Amino acid sequence: MHTRTPGTSLFTELEPLLEQVSKPIQYVGGELNSTVKDWDCGADSEHGQTVRWALMYPDAYEVGVPNQGSMILYEVISERPDALAERTYAVWPDMEDLMRAAGVPQFTVDNHRAVGDFDLLGVSFSTELGYTNLLTALDLAGIPLHARDRVDGDTIVIAGGHAAFNPETIADFVDAAIIGDGEEAVLMVTDLVARWKSEGMPGGRRELLLRLARTGGVYVPAFYDVSYLPDGRIRRIAPTEPGVPWRVSKHTVMDLDAWPYPKQPLVPLAESVHERMSVEIFRGCTRGCRFCQAGMITRPVRERSITGIGEMVEKGLAATGFEEVGLLSLSSADHSEIADITKGLADRYEGTQTGLSLPSTRVDAFNIDLANELTRNGRRSGLTFAPEGGSERIRKVINKMVTEDDLIQTVTAAYGAGWRNVKLYFMCGLPTETDEDVLQIADLAKRVIETGRQVSGRKDIRCTVSIGGFVPKPHTPFQWVGQLSADDTDARLEKLRDAIRSDRRFGSSIGFRYHDGKPGIVEGLLSRGDRRVGAVIEEVWRDGGRFDGWSEHFSYDRWVAAADRVFAESEWPISVDWYTTRERDESEVLAWDVVDSGLDKEWLWQDWLDALDETEVDDCRWTPCFDCGVCPQMNTEIEIGPTGKTLLPLTVLGAGRKAMAEHSHA
Amino acid sequence: MARKRTPEGPPPPPPVQKLRIRYARRGRLRFSSTRDFGRALERALRRSGVPMAFSAGFHPHPKISYAGAAPTGTASEAEYFEISVTERVDPDAVRAALDAALPDDLEIIEVVEAGPGSLAERLEASVWRLELHGVTEDELSYAVERFLAVEVAEVTRTFKTGPKTFDTRSAVLAMDVVDDAPATTAAGEEGPCAILQMVVRHTTPSVRPDDILTALHAVTEFQAPVPPRVTRLAQGPLTDAAAGVADPLAADKDAVGS
């Protein structure tokens, strides 16, 4: 094996492979607004060191490239003179085979550098289904799969993203996990690594990891010892080194206006899943939907101001030329100035063929006015609402406070305003759910169609019911519940399908899309797993498991067979069911208790009891604090408007148009 | 029974000028497809403020048409497309603005106002250059000689509709081994490198450089050890004299100049 100079481009070796793979464009980089920096760009900086990050989104390029979190980190690191960041994605199996045959390692797309040459590999896990792709990347990069086998000089592997709120499942494979908002945390780590390198890397990687762990905001699994009870439950997770905290705190960025990233969003040539320029209009959500991990772990609500949003849209469009702007958040219509924002943006961009979208909106008649504002140009596709639960009762259990009348009013307004297709999203397998709760979805859909036919006076209106299995997640009031088995989920969905199809008057007007229960069980195993599940991930990966988020690649049988083999050899009576369909009790030590999301475990348990009582909890933005624990624990508070400001008219596009106008023709 | 809906508001402003544009696709962006280029172009047009004309309807699209695109994986110095604008513009200023708004490795070479006639019909043939690494000039010359000596050289390629067999020989109007060193020799590529240049008539189905390599192999057993680097140097109307192609935008330039 010949040695390469670290940081040199592998493109010459890659080029012949690109001729043979599907969609080679995803591997070549060169996107507008991508950054290529010198390998030793930090040589003249304060510490004289360069901190090199490879950032991975562990899915295909087309999914990873529009990811906001990755784009933000890529920019904030790249802006530092003493650091560089390059991106890497999961390669498809055709490319993986060719790379193995040709001895080409996992590479970054920006400069085609070997991932193993970088100091740090940051991996952003939006979902647990990317874990097998991490193993492929590590293996191709020549980085030992297990953190315990890595030595000085090996790349440090750091996980982040929502799935990292339970880092124990991947404890075997990652050196560290950063919990919560990444932009400040990644710079803190960069500082720490720069200092350690400038000191001559004292104590090697172990010392670096200790320094990271002692910040209190980085979880290093190697410095924690897990002991178990004979029945398989965790007895205790305890730090093994002095100065390493019992619980690791999440990071919270308080002033979004101070972090207007991404400023220069990437513009891929390849087709990607989100072809738009996105601006995060606020972070966090206190609606309190009990199934929603994102809402629980990103508290408190922090709004970007209307003027900050206007500026980001203006600069982002100028930097990218995208034809659509997405106003992102967990529930975009909840921004305190959303009406002024949408009206202001629609006015500014009138006549420029620029679309606006609010990807996550609640069922609310007010939102129809918003939607009208957004589609002034005439672009009008479907409207999606998420009642989540089929019956009034189950919606009280999950704290999704939408009545059937609310929903009917909303769809009345939608069909009345000219929409012809309304999508409704539900979940199956919610705690306490019975067949009856799910079958009410059919009645609801029929009422929606009836109403739609009345108000629109047309027969050709449609409604699509989309339904997926519920997966209980860590740091939610449902973290203790038994997940509904795949068979039970499938049986319930089948009954619902029959109920929808039974009535000929509606049959063809109601579309039905569902996902079977099997992927949800694997997601459940990985979400609420502990470090003993790592061996299952590895077994699946060795057996060829890749791209588990893609139905054409996912194999439930492979996962179950691998888990059976691994757990049969363990000293505890654990199994896939034990991790998924088993209900936990209040006293059980949970693997993710080492992560402090700010939420009091007692409050979560109380909220779970409230769920069983069908008691609803209000939103603390408009009603008094309900003591979830986040603000006092994390020393944070709600940051919301209104600011009372508005968006002034602006000459937005065609700044270069004047220079282009014809001069010579009279 | 479906009532036809039309968007509210006035129809889009009409096009007042049509531009014909030549661009080059180089380096790593040779792996972009025509659709990939289209995405990059639409965004570059918006960034640079070109007053694009849009189609009417609920999903307005900018008026762009592409002609004779080179296959994905090949570089090109001569790709063409046309756009329509709603205000008269200076073609040179459009060239500069659009070039600045596109990623490196995509270069806008020339913009002219369209004269009468169809651009697509003028694209009768292409000049291709193939860099064959690991191949000596002698090997290649021998293969070319034998290929040119046959009347028919059929290949089979799989299309969306299924496999199709077609002749490649009749489309090849000229084929020469060129005696010049490769423009770029990447590090790590040592050993011989032979250059094949050829003029290929545009046919249906189109005969692509890789079809010709397949045919060369079938006729002469010739095979390059690594995939060649392929560049389209030019495309345009066939000239009457020795097999060659002319500038397809010459007629437009004449029309404007007159």
Residues B94 and B43 in one domain: yes
Looking at the domain assignment, is residue B8 inside a domain? no
Please tell me the least confidently modeled range out of A260-264, A355-359, A537-541, A570-574: A355-359
Report pLDDT for A136. 98
Antiparallel, parallel or unpaired: β A120-124 and A156-160:
parallel
Question: Average pLDDT of chain A?
Answer: 93
Report pLDDT for A68. 96
Report the residue of chain A nearest B103, measured CA to CA: A32
Q: Which residues of B touch A103 (CB under 8 A)?
A: none
Cβ neighbours, 10 Å, residue A346: 19
* pLDDT-derived band at A412, boundaries 50, 70, 90: confident
Question: Average pLDDT of chain B?
Answer: 90
Q: Which residues of A touch B187 (CB under 8 A)?
A: 12
Report pLDDT for B184. 52
Report pLDDT for B190. 67
Contact A269 B39 (CB under 8 A): yes
Q: What are A54-87's pLDDT values in tens digits?
A: 999 999 999 999 999 999 999 999 999 999 999 9
Please tell me the least confidently modeled range out of A321-335, A424-438, A552-566: A321-335
Residue B106, classed as helix, strand or coil, is strand
Taking the CA of residue B239 and the nearest CA in chain A, the distance in Å comes to 33
Give the helix, strand, coil percentages of chain A, each rounded to 5: 40, 15, 45
Looking at the domain assignment, is residue A483 inside a domain? no
Report pLDDT for A665. 45
Q: What are A576-614's pLDDT values in tens digits?
A: 999 999 999 999 999 999 999 999 999 999 999 999 999
Closest C-alpha to A89, from A58, A44, A54: A58
CA gap B217, B222 in Å, rounded:
5
Share of chain A above pLDDT 70, in %: 96
Helix residue ranges per DSSP H, A199-277: 204-214
Residue A210, classed as helix, strand or coil, is helix
Residues B63 and B151 in one domain: no
Mean pLDDT calculated for residue range B34-48: 94
Looking at the domain assignment, is residue B34 inside a domain? yes
Q: What are B194-238's pLDDT values in tens digits?
A: 999 999 999 999 999 999 999 999 999 999 988 899 999 999 999
Looking at the domain assignment, is residue B7 inside a domain? no
Which domain does A116 fall in, by range? 11-223
Displacement of CA A609 from its chain's centroid (Å) = 28
Contact B50 A657 (CB under 8 A): yes
Contact A662 B89 (CB under 8 A): yes
Contact A318 B72 (CB under 8 A): no
Displacement of CA A87 from its chain's centroid (Å) = 17
Residues B116 and B146 in one domain: no
Q: Which residues of B205-233 are buried (b: 16+ CB within 10 A; e: fewer)?
A: eebbbbbbbbbbebbbebebeebbbbbbe
Report pLDDT for B181. 60
Q: Is 60 exceeded by the pLDDT of residue A653?
A: no
Share of chain A above pLDDT 90, in %: 79
Domain count within chain B: 2
Quick one: A614 exposed, middle or buried, by C-beta within 10 A (0-12, 13-18, 19+)?
Answer: middle
Q: Tokens in use for A579?
A: 């991790």
Domain count within chain A: 1
Residues B103 and B157 in one domain: no
Contact yes or no for A264/A310 (Cβ under 8 A): no
Contact B31 A28 (CB under 8 A): yes
Contact A657 B37 (CB under 8 A): no
Residues B109 and B139 in one domain: no
Q: Is 60 exceeded by the pLDDT of residue B174?
A: yes
Looking at the domain assignment, is residue A592 inside a domain? no
Q: Which residues of B touch A20 (CB under 8 A)?
A: 227
Report the CATH number at residue B56.
Answer: 3.30.70.580
Residues B28 and B81 in one domain: yes
Which domain does B150 fall in, by range? 125-236
Report the CATH number at residue B225.
Answer: 3.30.70
Report pLDDT for A421. 87
Taking the CA of residue B29 and the nearest CA in chain A, the distance in Å comes to 7
Looking at the domain assignment, is residue A157 inside a domain? yes
Extended beta strands in A587-639, E state:
595-596
Residues B221 and B151 in one domain: yes
Please tell me the least confidently modeled range out of A287-296, A624-633, B86-95: A624-633
Q: What are A169-220's pLDDT values in tens digits?
A: 999 999 999 999 999 999 999 999 999 999 999 999 999 999 999 999 999 9
Residues B115 and B166 in one domain: no
Mean pLDDT calculated for residue range A332-351: 90
Point out the residue among A30, A654, A661 whose CB comes nearest to the CB of B29.
A30
Looking at the domain assignment, is residue A327 inside a domain? no
Q: Which residues of A touch B226 (CB under 8 A)?
A: 16
Share of chain B above pLDDT 90, in %: 78
Looking at the domain assignment, is residue B75 inside a domain? yes
Looking at the domain assignment, is residue B256 inside a domain? no
Taking the CA of residue A616 and the nearest CA in chain B, the distance in Å comes to 42
Residue of A354, A660, A664 for testing the chain B interface, max B β-carbons within 10 Å: A660
Please tell me the least confidently modeled range out of A123-132, A480-489, A657-666: A657-666
Name the DSSP letter for residue A99: H
Report pLDDT for A375. 72
Residues B87 and B107 in one domain: yes
Residues B138 and B224 in one domain: yes
Q: Is 80 exceeded by the pLDDT of residue A573?
A: yes
Residue of B29, B47, B213 for testing the chain A interface, max A β-carbons within 10 Å: B47
Looking at the domain assignment, is residue B2 inside a domain? no
Taking the CA of residue A355 and the nearest CA in chain B, the distance in Å comes to 11
Report pLDDT for B2. 45
Residues B148 and B109 in one domain: no
* Amino acid at site A349: Y
Contact B47 A269 (CB under 8 A): no
Residue A288, classed as helix, strand or coil, is coil
Contact yes or no for A640/A303 (Cβ under 8 A): yes
Residues B100 and B186 in one domain: no
Contact B47 A11 (CB under 8 A): no
Contact A654 B88 (CB under 8 A): no
Report the CATH number at residue A81.
Answer: 3.40.50.2300
Looking at the domain assignment, is residue A328 inside a domain? no
Looking at the domain assignment, is residue B244 inside a domain? no
Looking at the domain assignment, is residue B9 inside a domain? no
